[in-house]
Structure 1
Amino acid sequence: METLANLESFVRSAQAGSFSAAARHLALTPAAVSRNVAMLERNLGVRLFHRSTRKLTLTEAGEHFLASIGGNLDALQHAISSVATDQGEPCGQLKVSMAPTFGISHVLPLLPAFLARYPLIRPEWHFENRQVDLIADGYDVAIGAGFELAQGVISRPLAPAHVIAVASPDYLRGRPVPATPDALEDLEGILMRSPQTGRVRYWNMRNKAGVEVPAQVRESIIVNDPVAVREAVLLGLGVGFLAVEDVQGWIERGDLLRLVPDWYADAGTISMYFATRALMPARTRAFIDFISEAFEQRQLARRFSGGEG
């Protein structure tokens, strides 16, 4: 009888395409995953992977074996997870990726209530400005906007990702307040270069009538992080384009002013992303439902809408 460790090492390596990625998911060393797979091959008497220095691919026998046990392994893991405690409570490590500005401001404050409800879950939360590979990187959930849906990944919308123009009262003092996006071209702009594409991001702004126009500012300062954009705007260095949820508190306190309030740019939808599974781990389902419930109770979808200005 094969051990669960051997079978899980094989399945995760096949899904991720490497022993290293599977090791991150399983909290093992790559050597341990490789050893487990080698033991499985030896016990079965067949080679399951073609190995090279750069690539790990399934053999024909490996493909047939994966198709045969993939769903059964998920069912077995779910059964083990569901009886991991006498109470049957969700438990185990919950690995989540989210953008730093959004995650720290709007998700991290929910952690005390989440842990009070699910004390046996151990959060491992990563705050990073990148789209992660849920399976290869071993994440249970990712939260962000504009993710490309890979095969086997689905999303649950949370709120719109609307970008607005903001400036500090000090910067606007003595300057005419722009009424339309085209009037922004007379102001210094604090722009962001995308770490993913290397390009400076410019926005097209729209109003409730659906009219869309480009928002042009003088290129004054370029940074590569939205927090840096916000801090530079707070220092009175120019106009920044930031998501509503990243500046809402500063606007409410009067530290920032929203410019051209009838206009916003649409950057997509803030969503939770997770791998499709017939039997999702209880901890993952608990987190997804908890966050969805919290966003609904706080009406964050409405509050984060650029059309509410």
Structure 2
Amino acid sequence: MPNLRAIETFVKALEGGSIASAARQLGISPAAASQNISRLERELGTRLITRTTRSMALTEAGERYLSRVAPVLDELEKAQSDASQVHGELHGRLRVACMAAFGRHILAPLLPAFAHRHPQVNLELLVTDRHVHVLKEDVDISICYRDVLEPGMSVRPLAAVPRILCASPEYLRRHGYPQVAEDLLQHACLLYRRERDGRFMRWPFTRDGQRVDPPLRIAAIGTDIDTVTEFAVSGGGITWVGTFVARHHIQEGRLVPLILKPPRKRHKGQLAFEDDTLDFFACFRDRKYVPTKVRAFVDYLLETLPGHPSLERLPNEAEWGRADFPPLTPNTPYP
């Protein structure tokens, strides 16, 4: 009977799209992974994969073999995961991918308590704003926001994060405080561009209830939201970010939250800036089966995220007190 490790290497290579991907998932060298597949082909007496320097493709025999062994290997992995609990303890590696800012500000501070609760789980955190291929990169769970959810993934809502417009006191001294949405068109705007697809994070402008994209004066664009925020802290313009990114800057006086007045209802055609949230989800690669350690991690997040101070809305205009943030016209220097 062919070696189980060789079968696993063959299946992982096809799932990940390369022998190198299989090697990474299995913790072996690419040369060892290639040898495993060659050994499997010799034992079966047939070629399973046609390989070139840049790609690989299944042969007809390889397609038939993969269709039979992949489900079996999947069931073995599930059985191993379920059996890995010894006296109720979770075991094994848990690889979590998440958006950079969420990982930096929210997830990382929560991980020590989870690790203490489950000391036999080896946590691996992949923090990036690029596209993460869950299968190729052997990710157990991916945390991302609604706009970048992948079709076909099983998802679980985690948190709805308020977002806020803000600028530095220095910028407001020089350029004034915007009062209504229309005023933003005369200010330097700092935008976030998603690294995974190159698209801008649209600001929530509406006109008569319809989403619109008015012409903004774009002062800078960044693919890392913390970098964009630091640009705002340094007086570069106005940005729109999640409260979990802006909160400590606001509390320490480096940023000022901007509270815009709503448009008058009787005036049609007025521009509005609608508050909305950044909705984060836990994404799984298998709809039918969620490993116990993944389920435990999601349950932990659902337990700890509600009430997390960095995810709550910032105090409103009255609660902040206008002694700190006085209302100004767009042309009035900030005191």
TM-score, structure 2 as length reference: 0.78
Q: What is the aligned partner in structure 1 of residue 323 from structure 2?
A: none
Whole-angstrom CA distance in 2 between matches of 1:82 and 1:197: 37
- SS for the counterpart of 1:179 is coil
Residue 243 of structure 1 and its aligned partner are, at CA, apart by: 2.6
Whole-angstrom CA distance in 2 between matches of 1:48 and 1:161: 48
Residues 9 and 22, structure 1, Cα contact 8 Å, conserved in 2: yes
Residues 181 and 213, structure 1, Cα contact 8 Å, conserved in 2: no
Q: What is the aligned partner in structure 1 of residue 150 from structure 2?
A: 149
Q: Which runs of 5+ in 2 are unaligned?
A: 263-272, 320-335
Aligned residues: 304
Q: What is the aligned partner in structure 1 of residue 226 from structure 2?
A: 227
Aligned-residue RMSD, C-alpha: 3.0
Residues 167 and 258, structure 2, Cα contact 8 Å, conserved in 1: yes
Matches within 5 A, 1:165-184: 165-173=165-173, 175-184=175-184
Percent of aligned pairs sharing the same letter: 33
Residues 158 and 292, structure 1, Cα contact 8 Å, conserved in 2: yes
Whole-angstrom CA distance in 1 between matches of 2:197 and 2:85: 46
Whole-angstrom CA distance in 2 between matches of 1:158 and 1:303: 16
Residues 162 and 277, structure 2, Cα contact 8 Å, conserved in 1: yes
Matches within 5 A, 1:79-158: 79-84=79-84, 86-145=86-145, 146-149=147-150, 151=152, 153-158=153-158
- SS for the counterpart of 2:305 is helix
1:237 is aligned to 2:236: yes
Whole-angstrom CA distance in 2 between matches of 1:275 and 1:10: 19
Residues 13 and 22, structure 1, Cα contact 8 Å, conserved in 2: yes
Check 1:229–1:53 CA distance in 2 against 1; reply closer, same or farther (3 A cut): same
Range moving further from structure 2, 132-141 or 55-64: 55-64
Deviation string 1:104-130 (CA, Å, 9 cap, x unpaired) is 111111112101211101111122111
TM-score, structure 1 as length reference: 0.84
| 2:150 alignment partner AA | L
Residue 167 of structure 1 and its aligned partner are, at CA, apart by: 0.8
Residue 55 of structure 1 and its aligned partner are, at CA, apart by: 1.8
**Larger radius of gyration, structure 1 or 2?**
2
Residues 129 and 196, structure 2, Cα contact 8 Å, conserved in 1: no
Residue 19 of structure 1 and its aligned partner are, at CA, apart by: 0.8
Whole-angstrom CA distance in 1 between matches of 2:7 and 2:89: 25
Residues 194 and 200, structure 1, Cα contact 8 Å, conserved in 2: yes
Residues 181 and 216, structure 1, Cα contact 8 Å, conserved in 2: no
> Could you tell me which of 300, 310, 318 is aligned with 1:290?
300
- SS for the counterpart of 1:173 is helix
Deviation string 1:200-223 (CA, Å, 9 cap, x unpaired) is 65534359x955443654222333
Residues 165 and 259, structure 1, Cα contact 8 Å, conserved in 2: yes
> Could you tell me which of 273, 293, 297 is aligned with 2:283?
273
Residue 2 of structure 1 and its aligned partner are, at CA, apart by: 3.0
Q: Which runs of 5+ in 1 are unaligned?
A: none
Residues 162 and 312, structure 2, Cα contact 8 Å, conserved in 1: no
1:247 is aligned to 2:246: yes
| 2:130 alignment partner AA | R
Deviation string 1:134-179 (CA, Å, 9 cap, x unpaired) is 100121112112334255x322222336643211223223654222
Q: What is the aligned partner in structure 2 of residue 61 from structure 1?
A: 61
Deviation string 1:34-53 (CA, Å, 9 cap, x unpaired) is 21122122212222222222
| 1:14 alignment partner AA | L
